[in-house]
Structure 1
Amino acid sequence: MPITCEVHFDSNPAKVVYAGQVLSGTCRLTSTEHLYVRSIFIRIQGTAHAQWREGTDENSKTFTGDEDYLNERTYFVNRSTFYAGGETRLLAGSYTYNFQCMLPPDLPSSFEGEFGYIRYCTRVVIDIPLLPDQTFEQLFTVIKAVNLNADPALRAPFIAERRKTFSPFLLCCFKSSPPMTILARIPVRGYTPGQVINLEINVKNESDQPASKFTIKLIKQVSYYVCENSTSQKHETIPILRMETRGCDIGKEEDYRVNLEVPSIPPSDFSTSNIIKVKYSISIIGSVPCFHFDPIIDLPITIGTNPIQDITPAANGDPHPDDIIIYHPTSVILPPSVSQVPDQNNQLPYSAVPSAPSAPFPFPQEEPPSYMQAMQSATIADSNNFTPKYPMYNQRTS
């Protein structure tokens, strides 16, 4: 029974919609034959799924988590319109139906990963008597708006320092060498895809070990859970970007300026979904000779959907001489919920990702972004080949 179905979103060929907006469109059904149906409806669904395996062979165990966010149904041909016998006869031809759905404001962004996904789809179902249902599914992208201007802490520069000392190999009782000091700075802590992160690095090598090179990575860290507050979890670390710079010899001091253009990636979100959480950081790794641990320094950043406007540089704090790893956030007015007490890693916390703005359209005073398919969007093993799209801005510097 040849039936075709096309679903179109109103004025939205990219099929990208924000949480809290109205999703509307048309469904066009075409049949080359007359047919009887019990009902025709469209279901708009949002679900998350996580799955991974631990152990080997007979000792392996599979962990699975699922979460539902959206399940709305609109009938085009309903039971209340049935003729006698509970069936409706549709003549051969084309039929166009309209649908509309208000998306909840707290939906997590679409995501595809190696061990899980967050997906949204329209599913048109034709209930035909005595035959299997005809189902037509189409995936689309939902984005949770993360306005970087809503959090004052993200507007401030971020400075991190690492002092690394080296002990003689197998002679740990000997006095360590003077340190290799790495100081890294970014002008703000929040970025959107399409922007360039201007990273500045200063290395002062007073140690007795040379650094042959420095590797800079933009890291996406994904955590998968079976359910809320579950102790069963899987962590995935994905290098999104990778760059290398020259090294720093013994007794030398070097300055580096690295530009990292943020590709199309999902926004940071560690609160909306209970089973898939996403965060980002910049990692700087110095390569030193064998038998020594490489110095590593991490700078946490937030990826949002609305770029920071009217950035005003602020004064930076001075390094503390006694700590091994020190973070120097600029003085800013933090929300009451954000503590300014360093944690056990001597790192000041940064506030959670802000929620979606109340305005129905999240770009009232700026040029709307374009939308590009996600970079590094590995997919859990199934028949799906969908790649979400995320907003890309044309702002070239941070």
Structure 2
Amino acid sequence: MSSKVNFVFDSNPLGLYQAGQLISGTAELITERPKTIRSIFITINGYGETRWQESEERVGEDGKTTKSLVTHTTTEVYYSTDQPVYGQAGGSQLELPTGKYVFPFRATIPPNAPTSFNGAHGQIKHEVTLTIDRAVRYNNTFKQCFTVILPHDLNRRLEYKEPLQRLESKSFWWGSIFGAHKPMIMDVSTSYSAYVPGQKIHFHLVLDNQSDVQCMDVKVRLIKNVSYRANSSGAKEQLKVTESRVADKHCGEVLKHNKAKFDEFLTVPPTTPSTQSEKDPIRVSYTLRFIAKTFKLHGGGDLVMDFPITIGTVPLLGSADDKGPGAEKSQPSGASHPGSPNFQEDVSDEQFESNTFKPRYPVYPFDGKPGTNGSNGAANFPSLYPKAEEAHPATPVKFTPNPVSPAAQKSPPYTTNTPVASPPGGNFEVLGFSIPPDYKPTPSAPAASSTGGIGWK
């Protein structure tokens, strides 16, 4: 290849930004042979895109039904800035000699720009692009993605501090064959209804298995639900919904006519924060699912309890001292905060078409280990990311000016530090039980969503 480009972000080697922040850096262009060009410009933009295909049946003019493959797609641009750095757009031809050229770039990310996301049927992408506009031949384009996070402070909504709790029961036709109609009862509670990556979801679960059916395993899962929207060619809006498992916990079996209590936790991995806007073409939400797994032969299916749960970017004050549901909660104070986050790649393996970029999300050190600062983009609470005015510039490097409009030269770029890689990321009791004479099951939970794609171990 005759040219290559190295992008460097000022004082931010991993390219981590908060919506509303200033993004700046340099693009180093190296050419191995002369080029005839018109201009070079740098674009900084953010956009959302969805696309998938579905088979649809259509009735033709002859009355016959045929199947065809239909593509649903949509694109939404959140912001875009073009910065000429060499020559003039649409101007006369220039000779770009062999050598090294360093061009600065600078832009402000809109305060409502959505969080970076890479999924099976869509993406929210933020990137810097250097384009060499060539007069005769095809343009040369070089791109570099960066992560943008729209802050989601869980302390802004009081309902996030409320616990999740419910009691459900289920009967099986297997027991009714032998004249027994006693149910399997699950009682679940958590400390809060919202968490951040790195935090432990402490839960208290009591499974009273009065039935004649064995519970093979009590499973707890954090499910990521993604809704993709598309509006193709002015047609009505299309919707594609997927769910994937991002965290899993196996608590153990519960024999028939036994009761078991589990005081356990599920750690939230690096994952996309819950979407806050109702208008985004890609919406991310989460479900905390508790499953009492039974044999299919016994009929009636598993006992499943689903809770909607929110994943944010700033934890609840006092949540660092969480000892589980039922324990006394500490009063919010600075000392009870887990500390500075580090930033780790999304745990999901899904990607949109050829996009292999993995966004990084803040992960808090609830294990007591302090977060790291500086080299990985972390900062002290409550600010998640370093501000541009707080960065200390290093020695300037040589800057190649625009030969056509020298008056429009920008400030020289600065060197950055070498990126530092981030480190990789029960109690069981069997009891006797007799159901109280005045026991009444609580109202049923919302209808469980499809479990397609979720396999049992």
TM-score exceeds 0.5: yes
Q: Report the TM-score range of the alignment, normalised by the length of the smaller protein.
A: 0.7 to 0.9
Q: Note closer, same or farther for the CA distance 1:225–1:298 as it changes in structure 2 (3 Å cut).
A: same
| Partner SS for 1:194 | coil
Q: Aligned AA for 1:98?
A: P
Q: Does the 8 Å CA contact 2:338/2:366 hold for their aligned counterparts?
A: no
Cα shift readout 1:18-46 (whole Å, capped 9, x = no counterpart): 11111111112222444443111111122
Counterpart position of 2:284? 278
Name which of 287, 294, 300 aligns with 2:302: 294
Alignment of 1:13 with 2:16, yes or no, is no
161-170 vs 1-10, greater mean Cα deviation: 161-170
Equivalenced residue count is 345
In the aligned structure 2, how far is the partner of 1:272 from the partner of 1:226? 14
Residue of structure 1 equivalent to 2:316: 308
Distance 2:278 2:33 in 1: 46
Shift of 1:148: 1.2
Q: For each residue in 1:162-207, what CA deviation from the matched residue of structure 2 results, as whole angstroms up to 9, or x when unmatched?
A: 1222345897xx9982332211111112211111111221112233
Output the TM-score relative to the length of structure 1.
0.78
Length-normalised TM-score, structure 2: 0.69
Aligned to 1:69: 78
RMSD of Structure 2 on Structure 1 (CA): 3.1
Query: Is the 1:7–1:28 contact (alpha carbons within 8 Å) kept by the matching residues of 2?
Result: yes
The whole-number CA distance in structure 2 between the counterparts of 1:272 and 1:131 is: 44
- In the alignment, which of 96, 105, 109 is matched to residue 102 of structure 2? 96
Alpha-carbon distance in structure 2 between the residues aligned to 1:166 and 1:108: 46
Structure 1 pair 89/62, CA: closer, same or farther in 2 (3 Å)? closer
Contact 1:18/1:145, CA 8 A, preserved across alignment: yes
Among residues 369, 391, 394, which one is paired with 2:341 in the alignment? 369
Question: Is the contact made by 1:167 and 1:175 (CA closer than 8 Å) also made in structure 2?
Answer: no
Give the aligned residue type for 2:184: M
Paired with 1:299 and 1:396, the residues of 2 have a C-alpha distance of 25
> What is the identity, as a one-letter code, of the residue corresponding to 2:224?
K
Check the 8 A contact 2:200/2:268 in 1, yes or no: yes
Distance 2:117 2:268 in 1: 17
Which structure has the larger Rg over C-alpha atoms? 2
Question: Residues 286, 232 of structure 1: CA spacing in aligned structure 2 closer, same or farther, 3 A cutoff?
Answer: same
The answer to whether structure 1 residue 255 and structure 2 residue 226 are counterparts is no
**More divergent stretch after superposition (52-61 vs 102-111):** 52-61
Deviations 1:266-311 (A, max 9, x none): 1010526532110111111112232222110012211111111224
The answer to whether structure 1 residue 41 and structure 2 residue 45 are counterparts is no
Give the counterpart letter for 1:300 in structure 2. P
In 1, the alpha carbon distance for the partners of 2:237 and 2:301 equals 30
Secondary structure at the residue paired with 1:247? strand
Unpaired runs of at least 5, structure 2: 57-65, 330-336, 369-457
Contact 1:106 1:272 in 2 (8 A): no
Tell whether 2:187 aligns with 1:183: yes
Letter in 2 for 1:223: S
CA distance in 1, matches of 2:109, 2:208: 52
CA deviation string 1:378-397 (max 9, x = no partner): 1133x332111111111139
Could you tell me which of 195, 200, 224 is aligned with 2:199? 195
Which residue identity does 1:5 align to in structure 2? V
Residue 18 of structure 1 aligns with an amino acid whose one-letter code is Q
Once the two structures are overlaid, the 10-residue window that deviates more, 202-211 or 57-66, is 57-66
Q: List 4+ stretches of structure 1 deviating above 3 A.
A: 32-36, 56-60, 87-92, 167-171, 227-231, 365-368
Q: Which moved more, 1:297-306 or 1:230-239?
A: 230-239
- The AA in structure 2 aligned to 1:63 is H
> Partner of 1:379 in structure 2?
351
Deviation of 1:131 after TM superposition, in Å, equals 1.9
Correspondence for 2:29 = 29
Q: C-alpha separation between the residues in 1 aligned to 2:259 and 2:211?
A: 11
SS in 2 for 1:58: strand
Larger deviation: 159-168 or 12-21? Answer: 159-168
Aligned position for 2:216: 212
Which digits, 9 at most, give the CA deviation of each residue in 1:58-104, with x for residues without a partner? 34332222222121111112428x9xx72344443322222111111
> Contact conserved, 1:221 with 1:238, CA < 8 A, in 2?
yes
Identity among equivalent pairs (%):
29
Cα distance change, pair 231–264 in 1 and its aligned pair in 2 (3 A): same
How many Å separate the matches in 2 of 1:74 and 1:113? 30
Q: What is the alpha-carbon distance in structure 2 between the residues aligned to residue 77 and residue 282 of structure 1?
A: 53
* Letter aligned with residue 46 of structure 1: G
